[in-house]
Amino acid sequence: MNTGEFHIALDEKGRLLMPARIRNELRGSSVVVTRAVDRCLWVFSPDEWREFSAKLMNASSPFSRRGRLLQRRIIAPAQEVELDRTGRLNIPKSLQESANLIKECTLLVMERYMEIWDAGAYQAYESESETELQEAAEELGGLVSF
């Protein structure tokens, strides 16, 4: 997957028409959709999901309260979803509700996975996290050079 930010609408049947650039990479295939840590959804290719979920399962124990929380909130709700022949992704109702997806959505593509946000929630997140972004960029200043 590439990178990008896209503004797309959820139709009345809970489907998102993926942008052409993303559709071309995913056509005829499936993806895994699950809850994210923030109030959005994560979307992985099946291979990326297997790698990610294995790492998460290995790093968290069912004997740990926090481990069980992560497994229940991220691993358990994951669903493999086929893209239809027109490139639409049918978001399961339970996942739509967990991310509060109603109509307008923001799709963020970050090489190995994607995020689907309610557009208003993402705008609010950007505003609320501006100071933290500046701090994070400052911390990376010594690590990353051009």
What was the pLDDT predicted at 144? 62
| pLDDT for residue 26 is more than 80 | no
Residue (of 32, 36, 54) closest to 45 by Cα position: 32
What was the pLDDT predicted at 31? 94
What was the pLDDT predicted at 133? 87
Q: What is the pTM assigned to this prediction? A: 0.90
| pLDDT for residue 12 is more than 60 | yes
Strands 113-118, 104-110: pairing is antiparallel
Mean pLDDT, the chain, integer: 91
How far is residue 59 from each of residues 33, 46, 64, 112, measured CA to CA in Å? Answer: 21, 20, 11, 20
| 85-130 tens-digit pLDDT | 888 999 999 999 999 999 999 999 999 999 999 999 999 999 999 8
Confidence band of 143 (pLDDT split at 50, 70, 90): low
CA distance 47 to 51: 6
Tell me what percent of the chain is helix, strand and coil, each rounded to the nearest 5: 40, 30, 30
What was the pLDDT predicted at 73? 95
What was the pLDDT predicted at 2? 84
DSSP assignment letter at 145:
-
